[in-house]
Copies of this chain bind each other. A is one copy, B any other.
Amino acid sequence: MPIDDAAPARSRNAAATRAAILASARSAFARAGYDGAGVREIAAGAGVTAMLVNRYFGSKEQLFAEVVAATMADPVILTDDFVRAPTGEAIARRLVGLSGADQTPLDGFLVMFHSASSRRAAEISREQIEAIHQRAMASALGGDLAAERAAVILAIVAGVQVMRQMIALPTLANADPEALVAILAPVFQALIDGVR
């Protein structure tokens, strides 16, 4: 008997409902991707009907766009601390720590990659990455080929996330965090310091 799915009776409140749908969608997209997550499933997770989702967001595609935008909005890697004094270890710790137990903050990457099959989803993701993460990081880095180095850093973060969360490659997923940090920190540091 299927009791109510995470729907703690929210007395008619548009803003709260909207937020609940957004949260449910985010976790659903992170787990199953754009195609894999159904509107009915997302709605159930928010304790509403499928049609309400479309009523609030117009369509599944627009909902996804908003999820990606909201998810990519928070800096995650590019924290204020990092901008002040960028170090490889900071990125490494953040990446390893976050992508391990507490995966929520970085599931923006999961949303992206799980959904990149959809052409439109990939487009939305690209715009967000470029606008928010890469440019900010590039200007925080400075030096020769700053944009390219920033992009490579993002690519590495992405790759580690993909391998740990999506593919669940055991060596990475179960690795000793400190060992991973020891491996990754110098890599990021080299990219921060610049070429040669």
Contacts and interface: CB of A to CB of B under 8 A. Distances in A.
Given A33-B35, A114-B116, A156-B156, 4 more contacts: A126-B167, A129-B169, A148-B180, A149-B183
Copies of this subunit: 2
Contact of A151 (B113, B149, B163): B163
A140 interface: no
A167 B114 contact: no
Interface of A: 32-36, 112-118, 122, 125-126, 129-130, 134, 145, 147-152, 154-160, 162-164, 166-172, 175, 179-180, 182-184, 186-187, 190-191, 195-196
B167 A147 contact: no
Contacts of A162: 113, 116, 155, 158-159, 162
Given A145-B183, A148-B180, A159-B162, A116 B167 contact: yes
